[in-house]
Amino acid sequence: MVKLIGLVPLFPLIGFLINGFFGKKMSKGLSGAIASIAILASFIVSLLVFFDLLEHPDTTSHVVSIFSWINSDTLHIPFEFLVDHLSSLFLLIITGIGFLIHIYSIGYMHEDEGFSRFFTYLNLFVFFMLLLVLGNNYLIMFVGWEGVGLCSYLLIGFWFKNTAYNNAAKKAFIMNRIGDLGFLLGIILIFVTYGSISYGDVFGVARGANESTATAIALLLFIGAMGKSAQLPLYTWLPDAMAGPTPVSALIHAATMVTAGIYMVVRSNVFYIMSPAASEVVAVVGVATALFAATIGLFQNDIKKILAYSTVSQLGLMFMGLGAGAYSSSVFHVMTHAFFKALLFLGAGSVIHAMGGEQDIRRMGGLKKALPVTFMTMFLGTLAISGVFGFSGFFSKDEILAHTYEYSPVIWFFGSVTSLLTAFYMFRLMFLTFWGGFRGTHEQEHHLHESPKSMTFPLVVLAILSVVGGLIGLPEFWGAKNWIGEFLEPVATQPLNMLGHDQEIILMSIASVGAIVVIYFAYMVYRKNNVLPLEKESDMKPFQKLVYNKYYVDEVYDFLIRKPLDFISDILSRYVDKKMVDGVVNGVGTAVDGLSSVVRLLQTGNISFYILSMVVGIIAILFYTFIK
């Protein structure tokens, strides 16, 4: 069965090609169906592979060679896929949730003129994402990594008529390039150190290198992860990326692409185990991002922005777990997060759909009657993300926090605060959106309707998963089996939790009680007292204003990085290029005709300058070589 793994990325690729070439000529139904069926087929193959792995617990990884890729004197890189417990789990998440979101998109994008283009990009994205997790060496991962970045760029700017959206797309791309640079340097360093970039070769001998090299590699890879998974200081693109259609936000910017950084760190865990220093950096950056983004989430009014900051914050929690060495717990959280965050985004999409494009929660309210299915499913998702006892988010978050407590109580404390803040702003969103009276325009109220079946079906499925998804990782002290921990054992050995059972129960109780208290508080503020977010910025208190404006991080970046760069480019363009070079060209066009006058012009101005600059260069070179 494992041999068929090549089919998994092949189906989306075929879907991409068909939609790319013939999409315009096909009906919307057909084009959507082809794209969805391609992903479904991948999902089925992934499931078969997954069960195959389960049935043969003795062989934990399979390398499937597709073709010989690069052969040169010093470099031999085969195109190989690695099927093991980690990659098969990610395959299921990508294709499973990917399929549901494809179905949802058929309903959501129905009115859009770029329907087939949308599915083309979406299939291409899934293809690259699958490459990313399936590759057996860092180069294939990098190809996938860049590919998903490209698709994300295309999809954020999908509604390209809006300049703001284009800027968002550009921002995402540039931020990611900064991260990619770190990743690429990391790969190069791995190649220099170990002479290979295949996982098998590298991890086998990784321990041979000294700790400082491991630290360098780990940090460079982490810079890559910072970009893709939106961590401080490279996170600002993700909230802006919400410019894309909502299904894109759900698939790419919540469930799959942004978790690529987590996948990469887990895959390379050997470097992080070797380097406690790098792990510490990961943990600190993670928790800082988590807390930072959660506070911003408190005062946002755009329903998708709130979810975006929440995603940044949840990713921060995952990195915090990774830093603490809780690899399988973090993967567990990736999975549950994929369920409930995709659900919340799709739910938000359904709300936006019903509101005719309105995204501001100040204009909503009382929607639960009009959108019963959306309301119920989103409510379950909110319970899950808030970590209410028994829901999937509870178990995964609890596991991460338990490991973190052991690693450092200080980090645990901030992590716990983050998760309480999460409960608060998520319930704020729920209360303002679904309860109370309607605050939108009259037309909007008239227009309110539940979304079509194709959109509610994925919501229901994801809601079920959000509720029961935690069962695969029950805490051990319950006497139950932590299935996912054992399943990932061969890929990432996670230190055993040394906390006593009573300690663990105390931590768990703190979290549960805390969540309930915070939810009650949110209830008091937004339901009982009907407090509404302020309309005008000037009414806000200074701190509130600071947070509302996202700590002005964008403005600071703009000032520190973009302005100086623009300035340099502008100077070069204005003086070196425009004055010296263009000056002649323009002058020639207007002032002269006839070769002789060109000659005259050339002699007075520029060519002597060119030659002068060459001579100066020559002088410098000769001086450097012979006189010094």
Partner 1 sequence: MKGLFIISGLGILAMLAEIFKFKKILYPLVLVGILAAYAMTFVDWNPPTDHLSRLDELTASFSNMIRFDQVALAFSGVILVTAFFWFILASHYFENETNITDHFALVLFALVGALMLTSFSNMTTLFLGVEILSIPMYVLAASRKKDIASNEAGFKYLIMGSFASGFLLFGIALVYGATGTFDLGGISHYISNSHGDVPAFFYAGVIMMLIALCFKVSAAPFHFWAPDVYEGSPTVITALMSTVVKTAAFAALMRLFNVGFHHIGDVWGQIMAVVIGLSLVISNITAASQQSVKRMLAYSSISHAAFMLMGVLANKNGFDSISSILYYSLAYSVGSIASFTVLYNVSKDNNGHIEAFNGLSKRNPFLAVCMVVALLSLAGIPVTAGFFAKYFIFTTLIGTPYKWLLGVAVVTSAIGAYYYFKVLIAMYFKPAISTEPVKVEMSHTVLLIITTLFTLAIGIVPGYIIGIFK
Partner 2 sequence: MLGYTITQWLFGILSFLAIMFALMVVFTRNPINSVLYLVLTFFCIAGHYLLLNAQFLAVVHIVVYAGAIMVLFLFVIMLMNLNQDTEPQKTVISKVVAAIAGGLLLFVMVGALRGSEQLQIKQYGHSDIGLVKNLGNVLFHDFLFPFEIASVLLLAAMVGAIMIGKKEIK
Which stretches of the chain bind partner 2, using CB under 8 A? 596, 600, 603-604, 608, 612, 615-616, 618-619, 622-623, 625-627
CB closer to partner 1 out of 179 and 323: 179
Contact status, residue 295 vs residue 374, Cβ threshold 8 Å: no
Q: In the complex, what is the shortest distance from the CB of residue 94 to partner 1, in angstroms, rounded to a whole number?
A: 19
Chosen from partner 1, partner 2, none, partner binding at 188 (C-beta under 5 to 8 Å by type): partner 1
Residue closest to 488 by CA, chosen among 332, 333, 336: 332
Q: In the complex, what is the shortest distance from the CB of residue 603 to partner 2, in angstroms, rounded to a whole number?
A: 6
- CA dist 333 and 95 (Å) reads 18
Distance of CA 106 to the CA centre of its chain: 23
Which amino acid, 571? I
CB closer to partner 1 out of 167 and 454: 167
Region class of 211: left (phi > 0), else alpha (psi between -120 and 50), else beta: alpha
List of residues 6+ apart from 325 with CB closer than 8 A: 272, 273, 279, 403, 407, 494, 495
CB closer to partner 1 out of 69 and 457: 69
Chosen from partner 2, partner 1, none, partner binding at 596 (C-beta under 5 to 8 Å by type): partner 2
Chosen from partner 1, partner 2, none, partner binding at 445 (C-beta under 5 to 8 Å by type): none
Q: In the complex, what is the shortest distance from the CB of residue 573 to partner 2, in angstroms, rounded to a whole number?
A: 24
Chosen from partner 1, partner 2, none, partner binding at 619 (C-beta under 5 to 8 Å by type): partner 2
| Residue 359, φ and ψ in degrees, nearest 5 | -120, -5
CB closer to partner 1 out of 194 and 319: 194
Task: Write b or e for each residue in 541-555: b if 16 or more Cβ atoms lie within 10 A of its Cβ, otherwise e.
Answer: eeeeeebbebeeeee
Q: In the complex, what is the shortest distance from the CB of residue 574 to partner 2, in angstroms, rounded to a whole number?
A: 21
CB closer to partner 1 out of 67 and 529: 67
Which amino acid, 421? L
CB closer to partner 1 out of 529 and 596: 596
Q: In the complex, what is the shortest distance from the CB of residue 628 to partner 2, in angstroms, rounded to a whole number?
A: 10
Q: In the complex, what is the shortest distance from the CB of residue 242 to partner 1, in angstroms, rounded to a whole number?
A: 17
CB closer to partner 2 out of 4 and 619: 619
Q: In the complex, what is the shortest distance from the CB of residue 602 to partner 1, in angstroms, rounded to a whole number?
A: 6
| CA distances to 42, 359, 461, 491 from 113, in Å | 27, 21, 28, 45
**Alpha helices by DSSP H, 64-137:** 85-108, 115-134
Distance of CA 609 to the CA centre of its chain: 50
Chosen from partner 2, partner 1, none, partner binding at 623 (C-beta under 5 to 8 Å by type): partner 2
Contact status, residue 525 vs residue 531, Cβ threshold 8 Å: yes
Chosen from partner 1, partner 2, none, partner binding at 607 (C-beta under 5 to 8 Å by type): partner 1
Write out the H or E segment, with its range, that includes residue 174.
Answer: helix 163-194
Chosen from partner 1, partner 2, none, partner binding at 600 (C-beta under 5 to 8 Å by type): partner 2
| Residue 69, φ and ψ in degrees, nearest 5 | -100, -65
Q: In the complex, what is the shortest distance from the CB of residue 71 to partner 1, in angstroms, rounded to a whole number?
A: 4
Chosen from partner 1, partner 2, none, partner binding at 575 (C-beta under 5 to 8 Å by type): none
Which residues contact partner 1 (rule: CB under 8 A)?
A: 67-75, 139, 142-143, 146-147, 150, 157, 160-161, 166, 169-170, 173-174, 177-178, 180-181, 184-185, 188, 191-192, 568-570, 572-573, 576-577, 581, 584-585, 588-589, 592-593, 595, 598-599, 602, 607, 609-611, 613-614, 616-618, 621-622, 624-626
ω into 12 cis (within 30 of 0): no
CB closer to partner 1 out of 156 and 232: 156
Looking from the CA of 79 toward its CB, the CA atoms found within 13 Å total: 10
Q: In the complex, what is the shortest distance from the CB of residue 600 to partner 2, in angstroms, rounded to a whole number?
A: 6
> Using CA of residue 64, residue 69, residue 75, residue 76, what is the dihedral sign?
positive
CB closer to partner 1 out of 4 and 576: 576
Q: In the complex, what is the shortest distance from the CB of residue 82 to partner 1, in angstroms, rounded to a whole number?
A: 18
CB closer to partner 2 out of 72 and 625: 625
- CA dist 607 and 580 (Å) reads 10
Contact status, residue 375 vs residue 304, Cβ threshold 8 Å: no
Task: Indicate the DSSP class of residue 497.
Answer: P
Chosen from partner 2, partner 1, none, partner binding at 483 (C-beta under 5 to 8 Å by type): none
Place of tokens 């029950």: 474
